[in-house]
A and B are shown apart, each in its own frame.
Chain A
Amino acid sequence: MSLSTEIPTVAPPPPTEVDVAGRSPGQLAWARLRRDRVAVISGGLLVFFLILAVAAPLVELLYGIGPYDQFQEKLRRSDGLPLGYAGGISREHWFGLEPGSGRDIFIRLVYGIRTSLFIAVMAALLTSLIGITLGILAGYLGGWVDSVISWLTDFALALPFLIFALAVMPTVELRFYGPRDEVPTWFRVAVLIAIFAAFGWTGMARLVRGQVISLREREFVEAARASGAGLGHMLFRQLLPNLWAPILVSFSLAVPAYVTGEAALSFLNIGIRDPTPDFGVMIFRSIDWLQGDPAYVFFPGVTIFALVLAFNLFGDALRDALDPKSSR
């Protein structure tokens, strides 16, 4: 503990008036982002994954194999392992075949990205929507509204997510479908998104609430109030434009969390089920074949890793670009 020498190091003084023609803070951030090599590479990778997800049917058409097509004839009869090297990699099957079922891994991964990103993005959108709304209201109105929303936040944070998900998924399925009925995939997807949304909004709500509380005291908000601005103008014209930066960063970091979260739930067999193509399902199935066909776990593992890493790197780069004064 050396209190006396704890003197803050200084940042360079802000450059005074540089003559640039009307560039908004957003444009400046974009320019900074484009100069950041990590941001460009991770962003490019994300765009690639997104295109792959959206254009999955097109990929299927070009590739000539569908996600449910089975190639049992290319498996060894005795133990169901794919024939050939490294899990049956060949000109027709780029990433090989799934042992047992004989489905093509490449096309299933492409569709897996589609499932995964759809759930993650929808969940992130929904949580952001709920979080922003509640956060702004709590932060700006304060008083009992703030108390109620803060209590709700604490309540949601106190619920154990995994146990809740494990308990709720089967119950909800049973509530709408009989024990012997086939539960449609869209229903599982919807329930997954709903569970993520029910738990995930707290972070965004807290973030936005904090931001609004610090903005609320700023003089430009007072200036609007002194001119007679109503609640709508305050929230949407004055506050929201100043919240986009943290919201975007938080959103871009929430998506990869949901990608892994969804894979984890599917791995635990309470999310997406076979035969719907999905990372979690594939990794879950691959565990059984680890000894005989280690290549099976490799491709879904690497893909999900790359996807999550790209999102996280991009989120961090976005934060730096939007707020250059933050830690670096």
Chain B
Amino acid sequence: MTLLRVEGLTKHFPVRGRGLVRAVDGIDFAVAAGETLGLVGESGCGKTTTGRMLVRLLEPTGGRIVFEGRDISHLGRRDLRLLRQDLQIIFQDPYASLNPRHTVGRIVAMPLEVNGIRPPGGVKQRVRELLELVGLNPEHYNRYPHEFSGGQRQRIGIARALALRPKLIVADEPVSALDVSIQAQVVNLLRGLQRDLGLAFVFIAHDLAVVRHFCQRVAVMYLGRIVEIGDREQIYERPRHPYTRALLSAVPEVTAPARANGRIRLAGDVPTPLDPPSGCRFRTRCWKARDVCATTEPALTNGVACHFPEGDDG
């Protein structure tokens, strides 16, 4: 059952005197109930903007966001309230995402307070349950964020997102600010929650390895567009878009098999979204680009947006 469907979603930011930043420029995807979709790409690809639009922290410029069959892309504040109980967000920065002047209990209870929800057994009881659920000591209810480590703070942020029992959580780089030895703890926690509570996730990350361990499906974004989308297997084992291949090959790994094997190095940086290249946006860095790539933008067909996808040219 489709929980969330995104059609032609667009977000343009006007920049004074310099035109439009096409942060997200017409993307489509769907997330089924209880499914995890990874949104990967480099900085400026629009993954974070997409996440903010899904939870309506940003107003889409165009396109539709359909949640449980209902178009939510332009709901007013009052209607949004109900929606927000089903759709929550986890942030990247475990320091900025918790109000330093509030106790942990108050932070986790905030969504309940804002929505005037009094759970059976009381707010305090619910908060304790939530803290326990994310692996924190429920007795730490009265402590302040500065008394916790980065990993523990991220758990607090997760508990807050779970307070309203959402159906879908947008996780925006939830582990990238954490120490390596802590990342695995949080990834495991999120995996467990996803399994046990049947949550759907849109998992935004730049770290392809982390996404691989968390997501059933993956969408690769480049300059505001989805260039490839598919099952995890497909993306990681048989990538078809040149950009996906380059991205995977650029990840430095300790355990990588023989290094010379198919190593791809992209030239240059990502072009500015103020003035994206004509046709295929990746063509300026692509080693397979030909004339058609500059004139015609490839559509996303069979999960890949490329005129010359891998596997088609033998």
Contact = CB atoms under 8 A, between A and B. Distances in A.
Q: Do A and B bind each other?
A: yes
Interface of A: 16-18, 20-26, 218-220, 222-230, 233, 237-238, 241-242, 244
A72 B134 CA distance: 81
A227 B111 contact: yes
B239 interface: no
A22 B143 contact: yes
Interface in B137-188: 142-144, 146-149, 157, 160, 164
Given A22-B147, A227-B114, A233-B114, A218 B101 contact: no
Interface of B: 55-57, 77, 80-81, 84-85, 88-89, 91-93, 96-103, 107, 110-111, 113-115, 142-144, 146-149, 157, 160, 164
B146 A222 contact: no
Nearest to B52: A222
A244 B100 CA distance: 12
A32 B244 CA distance: 53
Nearest to A234: B114
Contacts of B164: 227
A24 B101 CA distance: 7
B149 A16 contact: yes
A224 B110 contact: yes
12 contacts: A16-B149, A17-B149, A21-B143, A22-B144, A23-B147, A25-B101, A25-B144, A220-B97, A220-B98, A222-B97, A228-B115, A237-B110
Contacts of B143: 21-22
B101 A241 contact: yes
Nearest to A28: B146
A227 B144 contact: no
Contacts of A244: 101
Given A16-B149, A22-B143, A220-B96, 14 more contacts: A22-B147, A218-B97, A219-B93, A220-B97, A222-B57, A224-B110, A226-B89, A228-B81, A228-B84, A228-B85, A228-B111, A230-B114, A233-B114, A242-B99
A21 B148 CA distance: 11
Contacts of A25: 100-101, 144, 146
Of all A-B residue pairs in the complex, the 6 with the closest CB atoms, nearest first, are A241-B101, A219-B97, A227-B111, A219-B91, A228-B81, A228-B84
A84 B157 CA distance: 75
A14 to B, nearest CB: 9
Contacts of A24: 101, 103, 144
Given A16-B149, A228-B80, A228-B84, A223 B160 contact: yes
Contacts of A17: 147-149
B114 A222 contact: no
Nearest to A220: B99
A16 B147 CA distance: 9
Contacts of A220: 96-99, 107
Contacts of B157: 223
A16 B152 CA distance: 12
A12 B110 CA distance: 34
A224 B114 contact: yes
Contacts of B93: 219
A230 B77 CA distance: 9
A227 B115 contact: yes
A241 B144 contact: no
Contacts of B149: 16-17
B152 to A, nearest CB: 8
B114 A228 contact: yes
Contacts of A21: 143
Contacts of A238: 99
A14 B103 CA distance: 21
Contacts of B113: 233
A241 B80 contact: no
Given A23-B144, A228-B114, A218 B55 contact: no
Nearest to A222: B57
Nearest to A27: B144
A223 B147 contact: no
Contact of B88 (A22, A219, A227): A227
A223 B100 contact: no
B127 to A, nearest CB: 14
Contacts of A223: 89, 91, 97, 110, 157, 160
A10 to B, nearest CB: 19
B284 to A, nearest CB: 32
Nearest to A14: B146
A128 to B, nearest CB: 19
A25 B144 CA distance: 8
A26 B146 CA distance: 12
Given A233-B114, A241-B101, A226 B84 contact: yes
A241 B88 contact: no
B114 A20 contact: no
B52 to A, nearest CB: 8
Contacts of A227: 84, 88, 110-111, 114-115, 164
Contacts of B144: 22-25
Contacts of B97: 218-220, 222-223
Contacts of B92: 219
A20 B91 contact: no
A55 B8 CA distance: 72
A146 to B, nearest CB: 16
A24 B143 CA distance: 7
Interface hub of A18, A219, A222, A230 (most chain B Cβ within 10 A): A219
A237 B115 CA distance: 14
A18 B144 CA distance: 12
